[in-house]
Amino acid sequence: MSQPKVLIAFYSRNSSTELLAKAVAEGALAEGAEVRLRRAREFVGQDVMRQSPGWSERATEMNAKYEAPTEADAEWADAIVFGTPTRFGSISAELKAYIDGLGGLWFQGKLNGKVGSVFGSTSSRHGGNEATLLSIYGPMAHLGLIIVPLGYADPAMFKAGTPYGATHVSQLDSVMPDADHLAVANFQGRRVASVAQALAGAGARALEAVS
């Protein structure tokens, strides 16, 4: 059976979401997946970025490490995992812009049946992590993705995260994800990869049955 292909498209400004993304990638790789880790890009000007100290410098650093997600990446993938910091209880504009750019694939039906999952982080406790993850479920449904939540299917889920996806609270960027939160993200990568592979296998068997 061929390797499942997993795209992790995330936006991160201060590394919390980036670290979760890397843990998701490690989990998917452990299940034998081929992984593309991509960071969505800013679309505001430097004048806006300068209002938040260090934003421009961190963006430059992360953009040097990760390519920008493309339409071709989404078409390539068997599974797409979106990661975002919370912005006023919802998805970041940078990641939303990438999702909005998938309209061409949506129109052609090329995303139907792919696996979809989400993870995220927020700066403040009760800052909207679960609301943010659920806000992405809507666009994923429109794209035709098969939404894969985490439930409580792994012991890691009883220590951190949410049943909707891995999460983290950075407490004004003073705390990075700990081992418990990274374990949830790792489980998410494993779960997504295994579901994508199972669906691919079922599809291959169905084709064999009618050939």
Judge contact between 121 and 16, C-beta under 8 A. yes
Q: Look at residues 209, 145, 149, 147 and name the one whose alpha carbon lies nearest to residue 184.
A: 149
Q: Is the pLDDT of residue 203 over 70?
A: no
Span 99-115, average pLDDT: 97
167 with 188: CB under 8 angstroms? Answer: no
Q: Is the pLDDT of residue 14 over 60?
A: yes
Q: What is the rounded CA–CA span in Å between residue 79 and residue 190?
A: 12
Any idea what DSSP says for residue 15? S
Q: 58-90 pLDDT, tens per residue?
A: 899 999 999 999 999 999 999 999 999 999 989
Which residues, including other chains, have CB under 8 Å from residue 108's CB and lie 6 or more apart? none
**pLDDT top residue among 31 and 175:** 31
| pLDDT, position 207 | 41
Q: To which residue do tokens 């009883």 refer?
A: 158
pLDDT the model gives residue 208: 53
pLDDT tens digits, 144-166: 999 999 999 999 999 999 999 99
Task: Please state the pTM of the whole predicted model.
Answer: 0.93
Residue range 174-192: mean pLDDT, rounded: 95
Task: Name the more confident of 170 and 211.
Answer: 170
Backbone CA torsion sign across 21, 26, 31, 33 = positive
- pLDDT, position 202: 75
Residue 15 pLDDT greater than 80, yes or no: yes
Q: Are 18 and 10 in contact (CB under 8 A)?
A: yes
Tokens representing residue 208 in the block = 């064999």
